[in-house]
């Protein structure tokens, strides 16, 4: 992909908490906030799926794109997922 080119991924959340929970999703590239989604409120076994965009701002190999899932009632990321991208000029 190229600098400034918007990428799309499909992100899904399934609530297995046995209670209703509100979440938010933060997307970071190399520790810098790039996009976010939410809040999303799901009942137990509720599902949410959406196309999420991110746009790299600089060229380079092995750039870490992080998807950080937060419960709204907590400050720390609840779940983390990442992928590596290679970005050209």
pLDDT per position as a tens digit, 24-55: 999 999 999 999 999 999 999 999 999 999 99
| Within a domain: 1 | no
Mean pLDDT of the chain: 97
Q: Which of 57, 59, 71, 89 is nearest to 13 (CA)?
A: 71
| Within a domain: 71 | yes
| Within a domain: 82 | yes
| Within a domain: 56 | yes
Q: Can you tell me whether residue 61 is helix, strand or coil?
A: strand
| Within a domain: 26 | yes
| Within a domain: 2 | no
Q: What total number of domains does the chain contain?
A: 1
Which domain, by its residues, includes 68? 7-87
> Cβ–Cβ contacts within 10 Å for residue 29, how many?
20
Q: How confident is the model at residue 19 (pLDDT cuts 50, 70, 90)?
A: very high
Which CATH number belongs to the domain containing residue 74 in this structure? 2.60.40.10
């Amino acid at each position: 992909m190229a600098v400034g080119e918007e990428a799309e991924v499909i992100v899904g959340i399934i609530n297995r908490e046995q209670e209703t929970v509100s979440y938010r999703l933060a997307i970071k590239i190399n520790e810098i906030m790039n996009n976010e989604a939410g809040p999303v409120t799901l009942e137990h076994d509720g599902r949410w799926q959406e196309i999420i965009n991110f746009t790299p701002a600089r060229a380079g190999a092995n750039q870490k794109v992080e998807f950080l899932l937060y419960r709204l009632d907590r400050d720390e990321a609840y779940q983390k997922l990442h992928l590596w991208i290679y970005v050209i000029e």
